[in-house]
Amino acid sequence: MSRSELAAALLALTAAVPAGAANYGLGRAATPAEIAEWDIDVRPDGQGLPRGSGSVADGQMLYDDKCAVCHGTFGEGGQYMALAGGVGSLKTDTPMRTVGSKLNYATTLYDYIYRAMPFTAPKSLTPDQTYAITAYVLHLNDILPADAVLDQDSLPKVQMPNRDGYTRDHGMGSVTGKPDVRNTLCMKDCEKTVEITSQLPPNFTAQMYGDVSKDFRRYAGYASAAEAAGDSGAKKDAATSAGFKLAQQHGCLACHGIANRIVGPAFHDVAAKYKGQAGAAAALLDKLAKGGAGNWGPVPMPPQTGVAEADRQALIDWVLHGAPEAATQ
């Protein structure tokens, strides 16, 4: 539809609106069936649970088919967080946060699976399938026996090991151990400096998701945990560090990943292709200045005429040396 046709259609709709109409003739009230598609939240007391049932045995087959690839065959974790184990560990120096150790209501597990899982096809499970997978995950945590069957009546009655573990008086998140959720609003004699008074538990992100720094390196120079701790070995030389900073500064990492192709080739692949070739640096400098397409696919790289020649030289040297992701300090 052209702009003129769209404008005409809108004018026709407006003309057809009775005087004083509130909705201007646009939209309509949602039907009960449409509302039901989104009204799927489940409360701790079980309100919102649909009718249906599922057994541990049925859940095992469904889990193996739809869940194990991400969470491990026995819920031990894989690409994503572990679902089983760690019960009673939250108060120790090595807490393990799983369904069994941290959830205080079993209905929360049903609610999350039904609305968000499996990752590749959320909301594709039926209520019976969701009850079954919920039962099996609870069984993996030794909360339900192998012959258990869950439904809308029995699920809210499941007692989770951490049922009473959520409290406002534990001081979690405070470096002093005092609860930080009952502060009063300061109206006079206010602090003039900012002081850190709360923090996540040590290694919280690593415990939940592993080393996430590698997932962001295509966008910015995040150091790994080992690098941040000073365990990465000898420091990179000034040229290497400058090359990486220049790649960030000039937006190279928007189109080129370090090890992964984005729009253009990965820098590691470029270094491998030109390794040991005489005249490689000159050829790449020319390509950087003039742009072009064809060597790595049909997507063209625009000429980088706005990048100073010295910067282009440093970037090419950095790429040909393997595009180290190292120190940005």
Indicate whether 73 belongs to any domain. Answer: yes
Indicate whether 35 belongs to any domain. Answer: no
Q: What is the pLDDT of residue 294?
A: 73
**Rg, C-alpha atoms of the chain:** 28
> How many whole angstroms separate alpha carbon 256 and alpha carbon 268?
10
Q: Give the mean pLDDT of the chain.
A: 80
Indicate whether 281 belongs to any domain. Answer: yes
Indicate whether 104 belongs to any domain. Answer: yes
Indicate whether 181 belongs to any domain. Answer: no
All residues at 6 or more sequence positions from 98 whose CB lies less than 8 Å from its CB, including other chains: 75, 81, 82, 83, 84, 85, 86, 87, 141
Identify the burial level of 281 via C-beta atoms within 10 angstroms of its C-beta, where 0-12 means exposed, 13-18 middle and 19 or more buried.
middle
Tell me which of 131, 157, 183 is where a domain ends: 157
Regions of the chain with pLDDT less than 70:
1-24, 168-186, 200-241, 325-329
User: Can you spell out the DSSP letters for 266-312?
Assistant: -HHHHHHHHTT-TTHHHHHHHHHHH-B-SSS-SPPBPP-TTS-HHHH
Q: Are residues 67 and 150 in the same domain?
A: yes
Q: What is the CATH number of the domain that holds 86?
A: 1.10.760.10
80-96 pLDDT, tens per residue? Answer: 889 999 998 988 888 89
Tell me which of 132, 157, 182 is where a domain ends: 157
Q: What is the pLDDT of residue 329?
A: 34
* Domain interval for residue 307: 225-320
Indicate whether 27 belongs to any domain. Answer: no
- If DSSP codes are grouped into helix, strand and coil, which group holds residue 86? coil
> What percentage of the chain exceeds 70 in pLDDT?
71
Tell me which of 115, 135, 157 is where a domain ends: 157
Indicate whether 205 belongs to any domain. Answer: no
User: How many domains is the chain built from?
Assistant: 2
Overall size of the chain counted in residues: 329
Q: For residue 54, what is the enclosing H or E element?
A: strand 53-55
Query: Given CA atoms 7, 13, 17, 23 in this order, what sign does their dihedral have?
Result: negative
Indicate whether 71 belongs to any domain. Answer: yes
